[in-house]
Chains A and B, each alone.
Chain A
Amino acid sequence: MSTPTVTPALRKTALNSVHRQLGAKMVDFGGWDMPVEYSGLIAEHMAVRTGVGLFDVSHMGDIQLRGPESLDAIQHICMNDASKLQVGQAHYSAMLYPQGTFVDDVIVHKLSDNDYLIVINAGTREKDFSWVKTNAQKFHCHVSDYSDYYTQLAIQGPKAAETLQKLTKVDLSTIKFYWFKWGTVCGLPNTLIARTGYSGEDGFEIYIPSDEATSKRVWEEVLEAGKEFGIVPCGLGARNTLRLESALSLYGHEISETINVFEAGLDRFCKLEKGPFIGSEALERVLAEGGPTRKLVGLEMVDRGIARDGYGVFDENARPIGTVVSGSPAPFLKKNIALAFIPQDYSALDRQLFVQVRNSMVKAKMVPIPFYRRPKKQS
């Protein structure tokens, strides 16, 4: 007999009923009732690699910091150097614990002097907000949680610009990768249009009012605009395989409260030279002690078998050396790939490795990451 358990109600985005009407398979993702796939994961993945796909990413959170010391607060809380940002520019960054491990990874947008927007993950929204609020306290700035005010849509793929261009007068070719502008989109003035994403492709993320009617209207207009490019709505399944092919970190996998910046291989976004910030001391210590002891590496399965999250990694003598943190078939590359943490001294060598796939040891080889890099624009 099973005991009834009380599960908190799942949170829904403004597009929940739209997803259900489209026949999406829904899953509980970090407390959110989200579409995992509509037409099929592989088809959705391929649409983004070769054409365009539309994602509802409204479950992501948005924290705004405003005030004369908002930059100081950001510099204290986030590892990248936000003083380098110009108005209209964004960058990848992360919030760290004092031990140099991850609270979350974020995208910091400089809206104007003294006004920053941090986009955070869904599963960590409350934790992130209170972390920012607490650590920004000593600075003259106001922290607001705007998460529920926006429906966030990601239009991703080589045809994303052409698709979105039909819905706005803003010349999208003037927005560089990781920059943003405001403009009218689908008749909605002052819409934030950012050339960002989580697919490894070109693409945009737009932030529109989160009421159901507006969200539904814009969703449908984007689908209509992308029709000639074969646009499909895409779920979290494709979002995961797309980010994995591009080796983009996912909280709880490649980054977490027990993984530090060097281990995750994200040091290029961590600017120790900008001066002390939360986590910097611990990271300096890691460097002084000779660097990280383990490292995130890319694996490609050589023999038949699919590495999955949590599977063990072994050396040629069947000695356990690490763990797969993300593993999946890669729909575009048509290979079975994985990201795994293994000891630094192994990762420097071109050694034969094995992944334990259920009852058997399957041969794998280390490959450079990202597994997939989008082709350079021809223009």
Chain B
Amino acid sequence: MAYPQNYRYTREHEWIEVDGKTGKIGITDYAQNSLGDIVFVESPKVGAAVKKGEVFGSVESVKAVSDLYSPITGTVIEVNEELASAPEKINTDAHASWIMKVELSDPSEVDSLLNAEDYEKFVAEETGS
């Protein structure tokens, strides 16, 4: 699975697609694959403040629960309601299944995130491949 070039990534395996002052955030294909069948996504509420590096929700597979870490600071302006009834969409297409949309407080924060190439390297190191 290719990691979109226009996304940025965290070492906790989230991605963000930035468009001006807003960003769509989801988890990477590597993350969905290690979690296995996803059965539950706990999203933040619209209007909630999220902070770079802090937990904004969780995603649960049959096997385990995993925290979600926000790649940036900002305010939640939309959550993907579709995932409430069909969380398995993340398994099918992780990079299209955004979890929340955030209005960024400081778009420059994005610069500190990994680009696709570095994220791929990071994953390769983590899996020892």
A residues lining the B interface (CB < 8 Å): 25, 36-37, 40-42, 237, 241, 304, 306, 308, 328-329, 331, 358
Residues of A within 8 A of B40 (CB): 304, 306, 329
Residues in A with CB closer than 8 Å to B39 are: 306, 329
Residues of chain B lying within 8 A (CB to CB) of residue A237: 36, 62-63
Chain A positions within 8 Å of B91 at CB level: 40
Contact yes or no, A41 B36, CB < 8 A = yes
Looking at B39, B40, B64, B65, the one whose CB has the most chain A CB atoms below 10 A away is B39
Contact of B62 among A25, A328, A358 (CB under 8 A): A328
Residues in B with CB closer than 8 Å to A331 are: 37, 62
A360 to B126, CA, bound (A): 32
| Residue in A25, A37, A40, A308 whose beta carbon sits within 8 Å of that of B65 in the complex | A308
Contacts of A37 in B (CB 8 A): 36
Q: Give the total number of A-B pairs whose CB atoms are below 8 A apart.
A: 36
List chain B residues, Cβ under 8 A from A40. Answer: 36-37, 91
Q: B residues 19-63 with Cβ under 8 Å of A?
A: 34, 36-37, 39-40, 58, 60-63
Min CB–CB distance B129 → chain A (angstroms): 13
Q: Name the CB-closest residue of B to A334.
A: B39
B interface residues, tally (CB under 8 Å): 13
With A41-B37, A358-B58 known as contacts, the answer to whether A306 contacts B65 (CB < 8 A) is yes
Which residue of B has the minimal Cβ distance to A328? B62
| A241–B61 alpha-carbon span in the complex (Å) | 12
Given A306-B60, A358-B58; A42-B37 close (CB under 8 Å)? yes
A41 vs B35: C-alpha distance when bound (angstroms)? 10
Q: How far is the CA of A306 from the CA of B36 in the complex (A)?
A: 16
Instruction: Check A41/B63 contact, CB under 8 A, given A237-B36, A306-B39.
Output: yes
Docked pose: A7 CA to B39 CA in angstroms: 33
> How far apart are B13's CB and chain A's nearest CB, in angstroms?
16
Question: Smallest CB–CB gap between B40 and chain A, Å?
Answer: 6
Q: What residues of A have a CB within 8 angstroms of the CB of B58 in the complex?
A: 358
Question: Can you name 10 A-B residue pairings with CB atoms under 8 Å?
Answer: A36-B36, A41-B62, A241-B62, A304-B40, A329-B40, A329-B60, A329-B62, A331-B37, A358-B58, A358-B65
CB-defined contacts of B37 to chain A, threshold 8 Å: 40-42, 331
In the complex, the answer to whether A36 meets B63 with C-beta atoms within 8 Å is yes
A285 to B: closest C-beta gap in Å: 39
Complex Cα distance A41/B62, Å?
A: 8
Provide the bound-state CA to CA distance between A42 and B34, in Å. Answer: 14
With the chains together, A331 CA to B61 CA distance in Å?
11
Docked Cα-Cα span, A40 to B91, in Å, equals 10
In the bound complex, what is the Cα–Cα distance between A199 and B86 (angstroms)? 27
Q: In whole angstroms, how far apart are the Cα atoms of A358 and B55 in the complex?
A: 13
Among A241, A306, A358, the most chain B Cβ lie within 10 Å of the Cβ of A306
Is A42 within 8 A of B62, CB to CB?
yes
Interface residues as binary, B88-127 with A (CB distance below 8 Å gives 1, 0 otherwise): 0001000000000000000000000000000000000000
For the complex of A and B, the 6 pairs showing the least CB-CB separation, nearest first, are A42-B37, A329-B39, A41-B62, A41-B37, A329-B62, A41-B36
| Bound Cα distance A329, B37 (Å) | 11
Q: How far is the CA of A306 from the CA of B87 in the complex (A)?
A: 14
Docked Cα-Cα span, A130 to B34, in Å, equals 37
Distance from A157 Cβ to chain B, minimum over Cβ atoms (Å): 18
Task: Kindly state the separation between the CA atoms of A331 and B65 in the bound complex, as whole angstroms.
Answer: 16
Q: A25-B34, A41-B61 are in contact. List 5 more A-B contacts (CB 8 A).
A: A36-B63, A241-B62, A306-B60, A328-B63, A358-B58
Among B60-91, those with CB < 8 Å from A are 60-65, 91
Q: Which residues of A contact B61 (CB under 8 A)?
A: 41
- On chain A, the residues within 8 Å of B36 by CB distance are 25, 36-37, 40-41, 237
Minimum distance in angstroms from A330 CB to a CB of chain B: 9
- Bound CA–CA A25/B37 (angstroms): 13
